[in-house]
Structure 1
Amino acid sequence: MKQATDFRVSAGSQNVRRVLQRTRGKATGPITRLAGPSDIGQLIKPFVFLGYIGVKSPIETETPLHPHSGIATLTALVEGSLHHQDSKGRPRSMSAGGIEWMQAGCGVWHGGFAKTTGSVKLYQLWIALPPALELSTPSEIFLKADEMPSEGPAQVLLGRLNGQASPISEPQPMACLNVRLSQGERWRYTPPRDHDVLWISVYSGSLDAGEEVSEGELVVFEQSGHSVDFLAKEDCGFLLGSAQHSPFDLIEGYYSVHTEQAALQSGEQEIGRQGAQLCADGRISAERAAQVAHQMSTATKS
């Protein structure tokens, strides 16, 4: 999976990779849902969900413990700081440039109290795990900004760029980059040979990528292996996802995404078992466990 080493350019690409779809998503309070498994996630799988949170002043919130299975989640904090709890209920702090990677696999619960400091911008990205990993043992890792490699203007969150590799072992061929450009700066992204999925989400400023893209937009490019040239219209930052398009189906539950119905059933059974243990440990109420079980049992599975 070799990439071109000349990633700063002064001219456009010979093959223009056109924009296939763009959206500003659906906002509920500070949370904007940009993509989900039943819509844009079908175009950009294995990336199946992208949510964005942007707040300009400190907030405190309590998210009920809830489960996931069949996916991995990447939480990328691009501005500010966040204090929350990991899946074991232990306090964790994140600052700008830091990430949390949680591979839910066969099933894991997380949530709890969280608060922000100052202005905060963060993404949560769901990645559908392939059959070999969708029922794997859950794992979780937190990395600080200085533990993540960079190449030029790009911080490498997943995958690799020009020999710089993320410390996270990605579940299949993919890359996720946090890119910051200064006004007037040009940058070219040349995907690895087997990558045909490409999208960006701009969290500050605006840029030209064949079409102008501004803060708050998610843009999906057509499936191909062509490079894309970016020109910063002003200082800007964006998240970029690149991958080999997943050939696997997306079977959705209320909290889970799997590749087949049997795997979803296994994941939800494990979630139920863990829910009973969380009740015994006093971390959730019997009512909460019953609510989650009801949600899973009544969800439409396709």
Structure 2
Amino acid sequence: MNLDATLTNLFEGAASARTPRRRIEHRTRGHGYGPIARLMSPSDLGSTLKPFVFLDIFSADRRTMDAMTAGGGVPIHPHSGVATVTVFTEGNMRYDDPAAGTGVISYGGVEWMRAGGGVWHGHELSPGDVPHIQGFQLWLALTPELENGEPESRYFETEHIRQAGPARVIVGCYDEVESPVPAPAGINYLLVTLQVGERWIYQPPNAHSVGWLAVAKGALDAGEPIGSSEMVLFEHNEKPIVLEAVGSEPAVFVLGSARPHTYPLHLGAYSVHTSAEALVAGERRIAELGRRLKETGGLLTSSGMMPVYR
């Protein structure tokens, strides 16, 4: 290690020692469903971490991906009242959408979908020619002006997602780097890789009292150890989150912070809304879209994928 790097590490280590660590209040490994582990749902931790209301980590090898593709993969299903953010930590998936073109989403790339008043989806991505795929799907609760609005679906390849230090800014703005993802204001969502021994301090923006992270690979020290496939919730305040990668491999994780979502959660089977009336409207719309989808069969592309149906 050269002198500059040594001095930098010493300085950062001294700064970390002086920075009060934000306390972990809860941790979970969720519940497994085959290649998916559900870390958070709207009916459990989502009520504490809203606007973050749902988080899956998925991990599948080539054989599992081929079996899922042969069996139709994830079934087509509806949503309303939420936005979904899918990021990949390993491998890649292809998209094919007449409105967006074709391309590949790999590490740091994003599938963004604002369901709004209603969509059906599940076949808009297909696995790339890779041995393994891993990533996260997050749901964000929407505010009244957006929850029954026009849906939106967009794809951002890796080069379109800018980096601030070790963090890809998936949603929001961090360290003067802004994401192109058109998410509601007041939410940050970062994909971070720290090398072994690397320290990083996340200073939330003003009023971002909601904070959490989930580890895809490796391990972290946040004053307490955080292992692979584990999610932790931090105490509700605006203190910095101090992290160091430990163990034998780099730590790859997602971190979210936000201003609290002040609306109640009204839950349907696939929907999250701020009121009973908005939920009824959303479920009515997705039922209508479901009937139309059954009649038309959707719009299959030449590659066999079906873009988000709205």
TM-score greater than 0.5 by the shorter chain? yes
1:192 partner amino acid: P
The one-character-per-residue Cα deviations of 1:75-112 (angstroms, maximum 9, x if unpaired) are: 00111012366698997642222110000000001013
Query: Does the Cα contact within 8 Å between 1:87 and 1:110 map onto a contact in 2?
Result: no
Which position in structure 2 is the counterpart of 1:294? Answer: none
2:148 partner amino acid: L
TM-score by length of structure 2 reads 0.84
C-alpha distance in 2, partners of 1:133/1:283? 25
Which position in structure 1 is the counterpart of 2:223? Answer: 210
Which position in structure 1 is the counterpart of 2:239? Answer: 226
Q: Could you say what secondary structure the match of 1:187 adopts?
A: strand
Which position in structure 2 is the counterpart of 1:248? Answer: 263
Which position in structure 1 is the counterpart of 2:94? Answer: 83
Aligned counterpart for 1:276 among listed residues 291, 294, 307: 291
TM-score by length of structure 1 reads 0.87
Which position in structure 1 is the counterpart of 2:29? Answer: 24
The one-character-per-residue Cα deviations of 1:142-190 (angstroms, maximum 9, x if unpaired) are: 0011100101100000001110000112213010001111111111000
Distance 1:147 1:89, change over 3 A: closer
Question: How far 1:280 sits from its partner (Å)?
Answer: 2.4
Task: Give the aligned length.
Answer: 278
Which position in structure 1 is the counterpart of 2:52? Answer: 47
2:126 partner amino acid: A
Q: Could you say what secondary structure the match of 1:37 adopts?
A: coil
1:9 partner amino acid: E
Query: Does the Cα contact within 8 Å between 1:102 and 1:138 map onto a contact in 2?
Result: yes
Which position in structure 2 is the counterpart of 1:197? Answer: 210
The one-character-per-residue Cα deviations of 1:3-35 (angstroms, maximum 9, x if unpaired) are: xxx9x9322353321101000110111100000
Q: Could you say what secondary structure the match of 2:77 adopts?
A: strand
The one-character-per-residue Cα deviations of 1:207-236 (angstroms, maximum 9, x if unpaired) are: 101111111100100000000111111321
Compare the two structures and name the one with the higher helix fraction: 2
Question: How far 1:119 sits from its partner (Å)?
Answer: 1.4
Which position in structure 2 is the counterpart of 1:265? Answer: 280
Distance 1:28 1:13, change over 3 A: farther
The one-character-per-residue Cα deviations of 1:237-260 (angstroms, maximum 9, x if unpaired) are: 110011011111010000100000
Q: Could you say what secondary structure the match of 2:290 adopts?
A: helix
Q: Could you say what secondary structure the match of 1:64 adopts?
A: coil
Which position in structure 2 is the counterpart of 1:128? Answer: 141
C-alpha distance in 2, partners of 1:24/1:13? 31
The one-character-per-residue Cα deviations of 1:126-151 (angstroms, maximum 9, x if unpaired) are: 00001111011000110011100101
Identify unmatched segments of 5+ residues in structure 1. Answer: 1-5, 285-302
Question: How far 1:66 sits from its partner (Å)?
Answer: 1.0
1:105 aligns with 2:155: no
Aligned counterpart for 1:115 among listed residues 106, 118, 127: 127
1:180 aligns with 2:186: no
Root-mean-square deviation (CA, aligned residues, Å) is 2.2
Q: Could you say what secondary structure the match of 2:17 adopts?
A: coil
1:258 partner amino acid: H
